[in-house]
Structure 1
Amino acid sequence: MTPSESVDITLPKPFVNWFKKRGWTLRDYQRDMLERAQTEKATLLIAPTGAGKTLSGFLPSLTSLHTAPRDGLHTLYISPLKALTQDIHRNLLEPVEEMGLDITVETRTGDTPSHKRQRQRKRPPNMLLTTPESLMLMLSYADADRLFGNVERVIVDEVHSLIANKRGDFTALALARLQQFSPQCQRIGLSATVAWPELLASWLGGTDNPAGILQVPATTKPKIHILESKTRMPFGGFMARYAIDDIYQAVSRAQTTLVFVNTRAQSELLFQMLWEQNKAALPIALYHGSLSKEQRRKTEALMAQGVLRAIVCTSALELGIDWGDVDQVIQVGAPKGVSRLLQRIGRANHRLDEPSRAMLVPANRFEALECQAALNAVMADELDGDKPQSGALDILPQFILNCLCSQADTPEQLYKLVLNASPYQGVDWETFEKLWWFTVDGGYALRAYERYQRLTKRDDGRYEPANRRVIQRHRQNIGTIVEAGRLKVKRIRRGNQGKIIGEVEEYFASQLVAGDTFIFAGEVLKFEAIRDMQLHARPVKGGEPKIPSYVGGQMPLSTYLADGVRSILAEPAQWKKLPMQVQEWLELQQAFSKIPDPENVLIEQFPYRNAWYTLYYTFEGRKANQTLGMLLTRRMEKFGVKPLSFSVTDYGLSVCSVNPVTSSQLARLFQPDILGDELEDWMLQAPMLKRSFRQVAVVSGLTEQRYHSSQKTMKQVTFSTDLIYDTLREHDPDHILLSVARADAERELLDLRRLADMLIRFVDSTVLVNLEKVSPMAIPIVLDVRSEQVKGAGAHAMLEQADLYAEAQAMLDDVRALLSGNHA
């Protein structure tokens, strides 16, 4: 909004008065949104953070409900985050209450009490704010057509976050079902960061009827700088412990700060480090998705009240949260994507005409390059993000069953419905039919088991769930996020009394023994026992606490940022923008070896600790490098190189072997054909396909994690799906879920598309440099603690994990000595 004396007279009087009281006027794009609401065409609104985007999305509904009051559900709002749903609810109630509008607004998420859910179905509010999972659950009820039949508008917030993942596919199917119940329903998409506007418009409105795009230009650029710490920056690691005093001082100088990290484990560690530094006892909180609902709501309330000075948080607070009093964002660790960084920065100074302030704190020297690449992109108004992909097929059986739980139907009609969802427009009938028969009875190898008899055919030719139990199982397992087995953490005070403060993963809990300490919810806890699927622990002081790990915590480096890093390396003039320590590091690399360039893949080879190391500077992200490492070591084994281990980072791959790689062998190693025989052999033997099948089995409904009040452990789920996988491989090798699991592994786990693009791009474009010592740029990759052991000769020569910082510094000193000619 902008201050103004005049108010647009087209608004109803309460709105005119409310705008005038606040000194606001209707912006051109908000007026445009009101005009577009008169058509049935979908609209994608792309507006910078603080531009009044959310109000713009709701304004047509608010004015419509005021001028033509009605009962029942009028507007449905879909958010990717529970926290965002709560925040929007709080912010939407403010104008409704201040204008005295007779409009009901409620939320419906997994945290909503059951009695409120039941009441919402009988007497729905005018506006319902929900998540994709809760929406799909409501669509499974027999009264779904009554509940959603008169919905006039559906608003999808942060729509960019839903276009290239299973959750987005899931949402697209839900939108198609909504459109079936309410053909007049208009779709509105909201986002601040869209790299592919036309593709997103097609996703939102459909290829045959893409949404109209309304883009609002930014009036200011964010003010971002990279921390220049006086403390020595480490070569590797991900916690930025070296900068903790700088981070604390920045928090102390600001009124309110959001400190973003990339993983939940990082948030726990950084919070602890900040509290150890917190001499002034500043109110600092912790926020991530594994904390209890009560803990999260308390933090949200305190932040909204302006009580907190800082929150250490993950992506759970990344999207759309409107706390106008946040005056700076600190990103600890590289952002991994330009759009992600802008989303986080946008939480600061959540006002259109004021620049957001942010500080980037790289955890290591490679990350400093990534931070600078992200900063360059922001200044150039460039965005990144994944393009929409074909819809994941394991979601279709879940969707088929969801529709039939609501009302009986035929496969032909459901196929037409699926084709109305943008990601599934390319699904052929043959594929759908295979998924349909799997949904009916499990397919050839499984139909003998009663458990998989899920659908039955009625006399009128339509299908419906076989019994009530099938419906219950389905509703308890709706969604696409397959969680690792979780245990609730009970914080014990006296006796066995205490309260639940969150969840940790079963895998982590299984490694604890009585007396172990670990960090959780911002404090050190001592493990006592696991009782009734709860981990009991007491608060203690001291000890050497462990850090809970969470599956899926690693974010891949975006292709755009990878190219940006290559560009910086290739232009020494850009090095002056980097911290002085990083400049010196690159200059040493340039003098001792070579700098990677955009046209070739630099490969270094050197002896170290009685073995040979080969370094591939790919800059293709951790998943692609992991896959490349597996394939390279298999081919090296055939060549007699005798690989021992490999380690990966986002930036490169290090392979340790008994023998060096020759130039002729290298020419045959780094080739696209490595994605042929080696890939096939490895995938058939690797446990990865079983892991992928487990994900597919849960999403498709082949097995479930929850039933009634019981929750299967991940060990139980894995045992069950491994058994089914082996059975299908032997007796029904053409089963559709085996094909789906293979495709899923290639897309989700291996990043094969990105790896293939790189191998094709750089075929016969490698530069091999043989060195007598580890190069400066190789140090963080060689010493990366996450190394993978390879079966084969010489496994005893695996790297020992020593004091990495001291060892890295010694390596760099060796390089300096060699360059100065003083090396003995």
Structure 2
Amino acid sequence: MQDVPVKFEKWFAEQNWHIRDYQRDMIGAYSRREDTLLIAPTGGGKTLAGFLPSLIDLAVKEGEAKLHTLYISPLRALTNDIQRNLNRPVAEMNLPIKIGVRTGDTKQYQRAKQRKWPPDILLTTPESLMLLLSYPDAAEYFSELKTVIIDELHSFATNKRGDFTSLALARLKTLAPDHIRFGLSATIADADSAAKWLGPTGSPAKIIEVTGSAPPVLEIMTPETRYPLGGHNPRFAVKDIYAAIKTAKSAIIFVNTRAQTEHLFQELWKVNTDNLPIGLYHGSLSRERRQMTEASIASGHIRAVVSTSALEMGIDWGDVDLILQVGAPKGVSRLLQRIGRSNHRMDEPSNAVLVPCNPLEAVECAVAINAIRLGQRDGEDFTEGAMDVAVQYIVNRACAGKFKKRQTLNEIRSSWPYRNLSKSDFDLLVGFAEDGGYALQAYDRFARLTSTSRGYQISSAQQARRHRMNIGTIVEYAKLKVRRFPNMKSKRGRNIGEIEERFVMGLTPGDRFIFAGEVLRYHGVRDMALEASPAPKRLPPKVPAYAGGMMPLSTFLAKGVRRTLSDPKLWQDLPDQIQSWLHLQSEFSQLPKSKGVLVEGFFDRGVHVIVIHSFEGRKVNMALGLLMTRRMETRGLKPLTYSITDYALTITSIEPVNEVESLMTQDILDEEYQAWVIEAPMVKRSFRKIATIAGLTEQRLPGAKRTMKQVTFSTDLIYDVLLKYNPDHILLRIAREEAERDLLDLHRLRDWLADVQGDVNYKILPHASPLAIPSMMQLGKETVIGDAKLAILEQASHDSLANSRLETVKNYLDDKQTNP
């Protein structure tokens, strides 16, 4: 057992705490210089365990200030909270330690001060770290680094931001080869892969895994009113949600999108007769508004807050004793992360209530709850590193000074995601960074690197500046500041956040919209800011739309939902209404089996409809819809529209579909896909993001921020030029591969098509079945351009239409019993 200095033992005792065994193990790992992945339940002192070795080491520091410990967080809010929590033991033990925060919210004068006089501990984000690594003094700045702590590792290690961070870690290992890495997480599903990601290639981190003693208390809300049969609107349960808030000391209400936070916040205040302090939190609010809410939560001065995932990680929640998850969780690990915000202590159970918004979401909630009881986790797979991120890193490396190709290739390969990067691909990436490639090399704008006898360097100070302004992998729609005026006679407004440009394009002066928890009247745009003032609430306002709306359904949950639907023995934890709905489905049509696929066909409101109950998530259903409608068009079936949910694909057509299995054979990925991909808008959409990350175009320019229209025009033009004159360009290859993987999930579709071959159960029905009704609520989302393009399909209304369809089913079954 590792010894701890008396001063620290005494401080723990004064808090009525004791140093846990795994916290001592982390001190031991530090003394042995072992990279370590700590997996421990929320609330048990996991973050303190990561910092404790550094605090002990720094307690006896001597000499001039040098950066000792670097803490990397995926969220700006988390760095602010960690600073508050660390300042307490530092002050109470009178430790000679300086702690600094460096994020996008840090003011310019503070950044300059930190670079000149580094703090002992710097709390930052991946993007701010890469920016620090782009300066010529990076080698000196990080030379004495002893520890790097990566918090909430599960949340970004498997995506492009994880690739980005892994390259930054590789650079740090070159600059400070003796430092060690600590990774922290409560919900890692694949610990072995995460340990490989954390450690240098060929040397995975040691794993310390801790189990909690208090399982969470979870239940599905049974509202006073019935669950809607389709859609994602929680309005039906607002009074029940408010009643739950009243029983709690403090509550967090998680929803899946920013638009839903604004909408639910408004609905809660309509029923807030006790005038409880209910707040709002999401990433588009201003820094001041976010920080004020964070402080209110930590101090216990807020009764409830409606939030997106922006508040689901790491923060100390004070008196929060209840979590409400509104809508389906979409992943077991994501749900576990959220419910861990209540009773933020390892020895006390978290309490959570799940509020599904339709019957299939209720099934998904039940499956997730059962998985947590069994200790099961899910998560995205670790994949090969993204090439566009590697290009950005190469330019970043050049900004800091000259580099040799061989050393930089070895450095990149020392990062686990890029361990298999070939020299030929690396040469293509460097060549692209140097002049843009064959079709673009005549334009100085794309010449970012210069080759010299001593290596490669950045071509100009202007190129370095442009690069630094656009560091990162998060490509967003352009946003406008929201400037709120008390009234339009006032000359002074204040910034309350940002709103996406594409939403603003749909507004006209006088329109009302919801933002930052209030109804505002739109007046216009001036100096890249939307100007608005408070508006009366008489008319229904619009809700801002945000990119990246719906979370993907995990493969684990998808399989669990299908397994539950197929076996009535597994329905006992479902609300009575949902069980009745499933019994009605079994009587009218058939329950989906755990294997194969159920397809239902019927005539509805003047068109023929097929519903493919795949349970494979939105990406697979999107790809299948694109390809099946193309095949249907060639066969003269005249498809009209298709729509997707996580659970099903719905296609309408003018002609009836008498045989469905031949429409979704495995060769659809060869025939229809290859014909479609050449002109696919999705590949062009993928290219836009890749081109932005790789530096072909920028979101921000010196003194200006480009509109999404400008970015799209620029990238679409480059795409067309490359496709015509340089079709083998590496960025086009990356765009196709990424569209297949991330936008369409073709690998998952290929596996699913193989699994269902010969096991397609096609039921011809007189009406839509209960199981098909939630999918029918989405009808008209995508129009197929073909022979049927002039046909008009009326948009499905919501609850009234859904209930009338269910009533039709019931009447049909009653008639069948009376007149067999």
Give the TM-score range, shorter chain: over 0.9
C-alpha distance in 2, partners of 1:818/1:455?
A: 71
1:691 offset after TM fit, Å?
1.2
C-alpha distance in 1, partners of 2:437/2:796?
A: 53
C-alpha distance in 1, partners of 2:540/2:223?
A: 28
Match of 1:520 among 515, 520, 530: 515
2:196 alignment counterpart: 202
The aligned runs of 1:595-634 (5 Å cut-off) are: 595-634=591-630
Match of 1:799 among 777, 781, 793: 793
C-alpha distance in 2, partners of 1:467/1:112?
A: 27
1:281 alignment counterpart: 275
Q: Secondary structure at the match of 1:515?
A: coil
1:9 offset after TM fit, Å?
9.3
Deviations 1:699-744 (A, max 9, x none): 0011111111200101001111111111111111111111111112
C-alpha distance in 2, partners of 1:798/1:272?
A: 35
2:30 alignment counterpart: 37
**Which moves more between the two structures, 279-288 or 653-662?**
653-662
1:458 offset after TM fit, Å?
2.5
1:534 and 2:529 matched:
yes
C-alpha distance in 2, partners of 1:201/1:9?
A: 23
1:471 and 2:464 matched:
yes
Q: Which amino acid aligns with 2:568?
A: P
Q: Which amino acid aligns with 1:523?
A: E
Q: Which amino acid aligns with 1:560?
A: F
Q: Secondary structure at the match of 2:646?
A: coil
C-alpha distance in 2, partners of 1:719/1:203?
A: 37
C-alpha distance in 1, partners of 2:792/2:623?
A: 20
Q: Secondary structure at the match of 1:473?
A: helix
Match of 1:503 among 498, 502, 505: 498
**Which moves more between the two structures, 62-71 or 701-710?**
62-71
Match of 1:47 among 40, 47, 51: 40
The aligned runs of 1:227-242 (5 Å cut-off) are: 227-242=221-236
Q: Percent identity?
A: 51
1:535 offset after TM fit, Å?
0.7
Deviations 1:391-416 (A, max 9, x none): 11001111001111111012221111
The aligned runs of 1:422-461 (5 Å cut-off) are: 422-460=416-454
1:23 offset after TM fit, Å?
2.2
Q: Secondary structure at the match of 1:769?
A: strand
1:41 offset after TM fit, Å?
2.1
2:670 alignment counterpart: 676
1:330 and 2:330 matched:
no
1:321 offset after TM fit, Å?
1.2
Contact 2:402 2:457 in 1 (8 A): yes
The total of aligned residue pairs comes to: 814
Match of 2:260 among 266, 269, 278: 266
1:560 and 2:556 matched:
yes
Q: Which amino acid aligns with 2:461?
A: R
Match of 1:16 among 9, 13, 17: 9
Deviations 1:12-64 (A, max 9, x none): 23212211212222211111111111122210000001111001000000001
1:582 alignment counterpart: 578
Aligned residues: CA RMSD = 1.3
1:86 alignment counterpart: 80
Contact 1:529 1:537 in 2 (8 A): yes
Contact 1:337 1:385 in 2 (8 A): yes
Q: Secondary structure at the match of 1:577?
A: coil
Q: Secondary structure at the match of 2:215?
A: coil
C-alpha distance in 2, partners of 1:667/1:557?
A: 25
Q: Which amino acid aligns with 2:598?
A: L
Deviations 1:555-593 (A, max 9, x none): 011000001101111210221211111111100000000
1:317 and 2:305 matched:
no
1:799 offset after TM fit, Å?
3.3
C-alpha distance in 1, partners of 2:2/2:713?
A: 66
1:635 and 2:631 matched:
yes
Q: Secondary structure at the match of 1:777?
A: coil
Q: Structure 2 vs 1, CA of residues 539 and 786 (structure 1 numbering), >3 Å: closer, same or farther? A: farther
The aligned runs of 1:310-389 (5 Å cut-off) are: 310-389=304-383
Q: Which amino acid aligns with 1:163?
A: A
Q: Which amino acid aligns with 1:565?
A: V
1:517 offset after TM fit, Å?
0.8
Match of 2:807 among 799, 804, 813: 813
Contact 1:163 1:387 in 2 (8 A): no
1:81 offset after TM fit, Å?
0.4
Contact 2:324 2:353 in 1 (8 A): yes
Q: Structure 2 vs 1, CA of residues 629 and 470 (structure 1 numbering), >3 Å: closer, same or farther? A: same
Q: Which amino acid aligns with 1:267?
A: T
1:490 alignment counterpart: 483
C-alpha distance in 2, partners of 1:801/1:248?
A: 32
Contact 1:324 1:351 in 2 (8 A): no
C-alpha distance in 2, partners of 1:68/1:291?
A: 40
Match of 1:181 among 172, 175, 178: 175
Contact 1:610 1:797 in 2 (8 A): no
Q: Which amino acid aligns with 1:584?
A: S
Q: Which amino acid aligns with 1:160?
A: H
1:230 offset after TM fit, Å?
2.1
1:734 and 2:728 matched:
yes
Taking structure 2 as the reference length, what is the TM-score of the superposition?
A: 0.98
1:660 alignment counterpart: 656
2:19 alignment counterpart: 26
C-alpha distance in 2, partners of 1:390/1:228?
A: 44
Q: Which amino acid aligns with 2:339?
A: I
Q: Which amino acid aligns with 1:569?
A: L
C-alpha distance in 2, partners of 1:592/1:788?
A: 28
Q: Structure 2 vs 1, CA of residues 87 and 804 (structure 1 numbering), >3 Å: closer, same or farther? A: same
1:686 alignment counterpart: 680
1:785 offset after TM fit, Å?
5.3
**Structure 1: gaps spanning 5 or more residues:** 1-7
C-alpha distance in 2, partners of 1:320/1:116?
A: 25
C-alpha distance in 1, partners of 2:150/2:684?
A: 34
Taking structure 1 as the reference length, what is the TM-score of the superposition?
A: 0.97
Q: Secondary structure at the match of 1:400?
A: helix
C-alpha distance in 2, partners of 1:355/1:37?
A: 31
Q: Which amino acid aligns with 1:369?
A: V
Contact 2:2 2:25 in 1 (8 A): no
Contact 1:336 1:555 in 2 (8 A): yes
